[in-house]
Amino acid sequence: MKSKLTFTLTFLIFISFTLLSQEKFDGKYYVIPKSDTLSHELEEIVVTGTRTSQRVIDVPYSVSFLSSVNYKYDKKTSISDVLGFVPGVFMQSRYGNHDVRISIRGFGSRSNTGIRGVRILLDGIPESEPDGQTRIEAIDFNAVGRIEIVKGNSSSLYTNAPGGVVNFINNVYSPVNYVTQFNEIGSYGLRRNGMKLNFRTKDYGLILTYTYHNYKGYREHSSDYWNIVNSVFEVTPSDKSKLELLGYFVSGVIKLPGSLNKTEFSQNPFQSAPDEKNFDYRRISKKGRVGIRYNQFWGENNSNEIEISGYGTIKYFERVDKRYRIFNRWGLGGTTKYINRIKLGEIKNEFTAGIDLFYQTGPIEVYQNVNGLKTDNLRGLTDETISNVGFFIQDIFYLIPDKLNVLLSSRYDNVSFYDIDRLLEARNSKRKFEAFTPKLAFNYKFNPALALYGSIGYSFDVPAGNELNNPPTSSDNGSGLINPDLQPQKSFNLEIGLKGKAIFKDWLLFSENNFDLTLFSSVIRDEIIPFEVFGAVYFRNSAKTWRRGIEFGSESKLIDHFKLKTSYTFSYFRYTEYKTLSINYDLTLNEKNFSGNFVPSVPEHNLNLALIYDRSISSTTDLFIKMSYQFVSGMFVNDENLEKTDSYNLFNIMSGIDQRLGKFNILLSAGVNNIFNKKYAGFVNINSTNLRFYELGEPRIFFLNFNLGYVL
pLDDT per position as a tens digit, 55-88: 888 999 898 888 888 888 999 888 888 888 899 8
- Phi and psi dihedrals of 274, rounded to 5? -60, -50
Using CA atoms, how far residue 344 sits from 340, 400, 588, in Å, is: 13, 12, 68
Position 136 scores a pLDDT of 84
Divide the 712 residues of the chain into consecutive groups of 10 and give the mean pLDDT of each group: 43 39 33 33 65 88 87 87 88 72 85 80 90 85 90 90 91 87 95 93 92 93 93 92 95 92 95 93 94 94 93 94 93 95 87 95 93 90 94 94 93 94 84 94 94 94 86 81 89 95 85 93 89 76 90 92 95 90 62 89 95 93 95 94 95 96 95 96 88 93 95 92
Position 16 scores a pLDDT of 37
Number of domains in the chain: 1
Position 12 scores a pLDDT of 39
Position 31 scores a pLDDT of 32
- Phi and psi dihedrals of 38, rounded to 5? -60, -25
CATH number for position 657: 2.40.170.20
Position 36 scores a pLDDT of 33
Name the pairing type of β-strands 62-67 and 89-93.
unpaired
Closest CA to 689 of 538, 569, 580, 464: 538
Q: Burial-class residue 235 by CB neighbours within 10 Å (0-12, 13-18, 19+).
A: middle
Domain that holds residue 639: 2-711
Are the beta carbons of 440 and 455 closer than 8 angstroms?
A: yes
| CA dihedral sign of residues 263, 268, 272, 278 | negative
Position 314 scores a pLDDT of 95
* 662-666: Cβ within 8 A, 24+ apart: 663/710, 663/711, 664/708, 664/709, 664/710, 664/711, 665/178, 665/180, 665/707, 665/708, 665/709, 665/710, 665/711, 666/706, 666/707, 666/708, 666/709
Position 30 scores a pLDDT of 29
Amino acid sitting at position 92: Q
Model confidence, pTM: 0.89
